[in-house]
Structure 1
C-alpha cells in the first residue's frame, strides 16, 4: 500500500473513531495499519491535560499545573484565565480580562508569581490601583509561557512570601526543542461594546547546532485591544443623611456615576534565550523577557450626587422599612451642588516589565550545583488630566428623579440640556497628575543537591538567596489658581456637539446619554493659562508641582537560607521532602510629611525588620499504581503590600475619605495543613480531593478612623481615614475536589469545586474584621471534544461573593461572578490550525454589594465589559 493511501485510511479511521461511530473499525484493519494508529502521538487538549496530570501525580508537594502542548498553544488567551481552571484558583476580570489571581480564598496580594523561579517586577497603569505584590497578568501574553505550576504546599527550596500558594511560570529552552522549530500566529478579535476589530500576532523560532551544545530561541508578541466598559457606579458608599422634606435619617449613596471607560491597549512582548551546554555536566542559559502595555484611556462619569440632592432638594421622598430611600424628586431650585460630571483623559498611561536572568547548572558525580543571578524591573505611568463640571446652585433646570428599587438609579428624562448643554453646568474643577511607579529587584542564589543514602533520604538540597528590592512612587501635579466665581466657563464653552450614548443596556442605570466635552477646547484653554507668579491675579496655572503627599520609596532586603531533604522508600511507597527555610527581611520606608512647626515638608524614613523560621513537610504515599495519599504541613508568611508599608497619605476632602500606610506592619504568618487523596484511574484521568486549613496570625485588617492630616493648606479633618493594622488570629479551611476524564470517542470533561470557609477576626474593641478575597464557593466545568480534524471546548467558571474592602459605613463585597467561554480549532493540515474563541458568552456583569453596619444590604456598582470573539490561524514550520 503506498504512503498516500495509507495516510488517507489512517486519517479517515482516526476521525471516525474519534466521533465514536466506528468502535469496531480496528478489527477490520490490517495489523500494521492498526499498529500505526496506536503509535500516533497524542496532541491538542488531551496531550496538555495528560501532562498536567503527570506533573501533579509525581510532584513532591501539593501541586497543580497547566501546560502548553505546543508552541503558542497555551489553553487560554491570558495566563490568569487559564489558571482559573485549577481547583482553588479564581481571577479578577475588572476590564474583561484576567488580571489578578487568588488562591484558596486568599487575596491576590498575598500570593506571589515567579518566572523560572524568580520574582517578576510589576507596577500599575491605573491611578487608583495600590501597588501590590500580586502580579498583574495583563502584562504577560500567554504565547510566551510553556507551563504554569501552582504550589499549594511550600517546599523549603522555593521562595517564601505566599499565603495561599506560589505560581511558577516557565518559559522554553532552545536545547529542549528540535532545531528549526518555528510558528506564526495571526489573529483578530472583536470586542462587542466598542464594536471594534483588533489585530494580534506572535512568532517563535528556535535553533540549535548539530551537536546540541548551543541554542537560541526568540518569541515576539504583538496585541492590540480596544477596551470599553460601561459602569453604573455607587460612590463613597451609602452614607446616612437627613431627607430634606421628611427630616428622617435615611440611607442614600453619596453619589451615583454613569461611567464610560474607553482604552486602547497595546501589548508588546519579546522572549529571548541563549543556552550553552558544551558538556553533559555544564549548562548555562541567558534569558531576557520584556513586556510592555500601552494603556492610554479615557473615563467619563456623569455624577448625580444623591446624598446632597436628597438632603437639600428632595421632595416626595419615599423610604422603606430599613430606612432606604426608594424614590425622591430632586428640585434643583432648592439644592446647591448636586450634579457633577467628571472627564479624565489618561494619555501615556502604561506599564512595562523586563527580566534579565542567567541560570547556571553543573552536574558532577552525585552533586548538582546551581546558580542564578538577575534583575527584574517595572515602570508604571498613571497620567490624569482631570476636568470636573458642577451644576449652578439652586437652578430649577437641574431637576431629576432618584430611585432605588434594589438598584440605585437617576432619571433625567425631562432634562434636555444633558445632551445639549448651555450654562446649566460650569467647569470649576481641574488638575493634571503624572504618577510614575517603579519596582526593581536584584537577586542572586546558589544551590547544591547531594545524592545521599541516609535510609530513605536520597537527596539533600541546600541554598542561599539574596534579594534587594526598591519600590518608588513620584508624582507631579498641575492645578489652577485665581479661578473666577463662575469657574472656567460654561459647559457649552467646552462642547462641539458630540454625545456619549448607548450606555447601560445590561445595568439598567441612567442617564444612558450625555454630552461629550471637546478635548481640543479644554487643551487650548488650560494650555493658554499663564504661569502663576507674584502679582498675577488672573486665572493662572501652577504647573508640575512636586506632590509630596503621594511620594514614597520603599527599600527591602531579603536574605534566605534553606536545607531540604528529599526521600523515597520504595518498599512502602512513601516519598516526599522535609525542609527548613530561614529568612530575614529589612525594610526602609521613606515618605514626606508636612511639618507645621517647620512650615515645610520633611522626609522621614521608618526602619523595620523581622526574621522567620519556616519549616515544611510534604508526604506522598503511593498506595498502589493508581492511588496517592498526600499530607503536608508548613509555616508560611506573606509580606504586606508596598502601598500598606508607605507612610504617605492620600485624601479626598470632598467625600471625607483618605488612606495611608503603616511602615511597622508585620507580615501575615500562618501554619497550614493539607490532606488529600488522588486516584489516577485511567491514562490522563484523575479524581482527587484535598482538605486544607490555614491558621493565620498577624492578620492585616483595615482600620477606619477619624484623623487630622497636616497639609500646606492647613489641617484637614478626614472622618474616614483608612490604615492597615496587624490584628489577631483567623482560621481558613476548605476542601478542593477535581475530576478529569477523556472518553475513547474523543469527548472529555474537567471539573472542580472548592469550598472555603473563613471566620471573622475579633478585634480588641470587640468589632470584627474579614479576610479579603475569599469566595466560599468556586467551581469550574470544561467539556471538550477532540479528534484528528478538530477540537472544541466549552468552559464555565463560577465564584461566589467575596469581601472586598472595609468602608466607613460597612463592608464592601464583590458579588458572585460567572463566565462561559468557548474554543474551536480545525486542523487543516499537520502544520496549519484555524481557531475561533468566544469569551463571556452570556455577557455577565461585575457588581458590588454593600453590607452596612447595623443596616441593610444594598446594591453597589455594576460594570459591563461585553463579549469578545477571536478568529485566528497558527502555522508551525
Structure 2
C-alpha cells in the first residue's frame, strides 16, 4: 500500500516577444521593439501555476505451486489519482497612442511600475474560461499468471490482466458568473490484456524467446487538460486535448540470447508493434505563438531490430602489481534500427477540441514516422573496472538520427530534432570514510558540446524552433552508506 503527494508552484513565468520589421521606411525597422500587443508588434505575458496531486495505491499477490513444474500467481492492483491544476495567464496591453519610444525598452525596464502607471498599461486575463481543472484516474486490475515447464528445456509464461479504469477531467468554476466550458473528459474503459512468453533453453549458454502481448497507453493529465503549460526542457508551449482516448498496442518479439561467459552476453531481437489510436503531438499557431497539442492518429505500425553485446577483457597480464593487475576492460554496445509509420486514409476521423476539422488528413500525413522515434540509435560504453573493489572509469558515446518532435501546422513539414553524437565520461571510486563504505562519483557530460537543434525543413529552406548550445557540464559527489 502506498500514498504520495506531489506539488508544483510556478509563479512569475514571464514571456516576451520583440519585433523587428527590417523595412527601410520604418524609422525603427533596424531595431527590436515591443509595443505590448499594440499593433501586433511585440507582446509580454505572465503566468502563475499551481498543481497538487494525491496518489493512493495498493496491491496483493499470491503465488502457489500447482505441480512441481508449474507455478500459479493471482493478484489485484488498485490506484487512485486525484489532481487539481490551476494556471492563471495575464497579458500586458499598451493602449493606442503609446509612443514607440517606450517599446525600445529592454524587458526589465518595459514592465517597471513607473512605466506601467505612466502609460496606463492594462493587465488582461486571457483564460477566464478554463483556468482551473480537477482530474482523476481510478484503476482496478486483476490478473493471473502461470509459469510452467513444458519440457526441461521449454517453459511457458502465460497470463492475463483485466483492467478497468475511469479517467475524468472537469473544469472548475472560478468566477461568480460561470463561463460555459466544454473542455471535459470522461473515459470509462475496461480491457482484457493477455501476454505470453515461450522460452527455449537451447543449452546452458543460449536461450530463444518468443513473446506477444496486448497493452494500453492512457493519455496523461497534461495531455488532456485544455490549459497551457510551458515545458522548460523543450522550450515549448503545450495545450491539452480533452477529446483524447486510450491507445491499444499489440506487441510481438523474437529474441536470441547467448551468455558466452560470466556477465558477458550477446543478444539480437526483432520486434513489431501495431498501435490503435496512438497519441501524437502536433503544432499550430495562436497569434504569433506556436502551441503544441495532442491528437489520436488512426493507427501506426512499428518494427525493428535490436542488437546488444557486453564483453570483458582481462588486463591483469599487463602488470603483476601495477595499475592493471586487478583490472579488466569492458565494452558494451547497443544498436537499434526502427521503422515506424502512421496510417491515415481519406475520411479517417480525428477529435481535436476547438478545431474546425475532424479529418485526420488535416493533422497527419500517411506514412510519416511516429513522433519521438528515430530510425537509428547507437549506445557504446568503453570502460575500465577493478575486479576486487569499486573503481570504474567509463566513456559513453551515444548517437541518434533525426526524429520528429511534432507534426507541422496546416500541412507544413514536421518539426524535427537532431540529437547527433554525445560523449560523456563517468568515474566511480569506492573508499572508506569513518569505517563506512563511501563512493566518489565524477561526471562530465556532453564533451562534444553538441548543439540542440529543432527545426522545420522544406528543400533548402530551414527554420529553427530551438537552436542553442547545451554546454559541457561536470559534477562531483560523495555518497556514504550507513
Equivalents in 2 of 1:842, 1:650: separation in Å?
Answer: 32
Match of 1:465 in 2: 77
Equivalents in 2 of 1:389, 1:525: separation in Å?
Answer: 21
Match of 1:629 in 2: 208
Considering only aligned residues, what root-mean-square deviation do their CA atoms show, in Å?
3.8
Counterpart of 1:731 (choices 301, 321, 327) is 301
**Structure ranking higher in helix proportion:** 1
Equivalents in 2 of 1:698, 1:381: separation in Å?
Answer: 33
State the number of aligned residues. 429
Equivalents in 1 of 2:192, 2:474: separation in Å?
Answer: 49
Counterpart of 2:61 (choices 421, 439, 447) is 447
In the superposition, the TM-score normalised over structure 1's length comes to 0.44
Counterpart check, 1:395 vs 2:395: no
User: Considering only CA atoms, is the larger Rg found in Structure 1 or Structure 2?
Assistant: 1
Equivalents in 2 of 1:578, 1:466: separation in Å?
Answer: 22
Match of 2:4 in 1: 376
Match of 2:376 in 1: 777
Match of 1:742 in 2: 312
1:671 to partner: Cα distance: 1.1
CA pair 462-476 structure 1, distance change in 2 beyond 3 A = same
Gaps of 5+ in 1: 1-372, 400-417, 419-423, 496-516, 531-537, 652-656, 707-715
Equivalents in 2 of 1:658, 1:780: separation in Å?
Answer: 31
1:474 to partner: Cα distance: 0.8
Counterpart of 1:490 (choices 102, 112, 119) is 102
1:661 to partner: Cα distance: 4.2
Counterpart check, 1:863 vs 2:462: no
Equivalents in 2 of 1:833, 1:725: separation in Å?
Answer: 46
Q: Deviations over 1:682-713 (max 9, x none)?
A: 1110011111111111233457789xxxxxxx
In the superposition, the TM-score normalised over structure 2's length comes to 0.77
Match of 1:551 in 2: 132
Match of 2:269 in 1: 690
The answer to whether the 8 A contact 1:480-1:541 is kept is yes
CA pair 705-518 structure 1, distance change in 2 beyond 3 A = closer
Counterpart check, 1:812 vs 2:415: yes
| SS at structure 2 position matched to 1:549 | coil
| SS at structure 2 position matched to 1:760 | strand
1:593 to partner: Cα distance: 10
Match of 1:801 in 2: 402
CA pair 572-554 structure 1, distance change in 2 beyond 3 A = same
Q: Deviations over 1:15-70 (max 9, x none)?
A: xxxxxxxxxxxxxxxxxxxxxxxxxxxxxxxxxxxxxxxxxxxxxxxxxxxxxxxx
1:433 to partner: Cα distance: 1.3
The answer to whether the 8 A contact 2:88-2:131 is kept is no
Higher relative contact order (CA 8 A, sep 6+): 1
CA pair 471-781 structure 1, distance change in 2 beyond 3 A = same
| SS at structure 2 position matched to 1:643 | helix
The answer to whether the 8 A contact 1:475-1:547 is kept is no
Q: Deviations over 1:285-313 (max 9, x none)?
A: xxxxxxxxxxxxxxxxxxxxxxxxxxxxx
Gaps of 5+ in 2: 37-42, 231-235, 316-327, 348-360
Equivalents in 1 of 2:81, 2:266: separation in Å?
Answer: 42
Give the 5 Å matches for 1:256-295.
none
CA pair 734-460 structure 1, distance change in 2 beyond 3 A = same
The answer to whether the 8 A contact 1:590-1:647 is kept is no
| SS at structure 2 position matched to 1:525 | helix
CA pair 630-434 structure 1, distance change in 2 beyond 3 A = same
1:618 to partner: Cα distance: 1.7
1:469 to partner: Cα distance: 1.6
CA pair 548-664 structure 1, distance change in 2 beyond 3 A = closer
Equivalents in 2 of 1:703, 1:764: separation in Å?
Answer: 19
Match of 2:442 in 1: 836
1:438 to partner: Cα distance: 3.2
The answer to whether the 8 A contact 1:635-1:670 is kept is yes
CA pair 489-460 structure 1, distance change in 2 beyond 3 A = farther
CA pair 776-784 structure 1, distance change in 2 beyond 3 A = same
1:566 to partner: Cα distance: 1.8
Q: Deviations over 1:823-867 (max 9, x none)?
A: 234556695655533211111111123244xx6563523221111
Equivalents in 2 of 1:628, 1:793: separation in Å?
Answer: 29
The answer to whether the 8 A contact 2:299-2:342 is kept is no
Equivalents in 1 of 2:311, 2:291: separation in Å?
Answer: 52
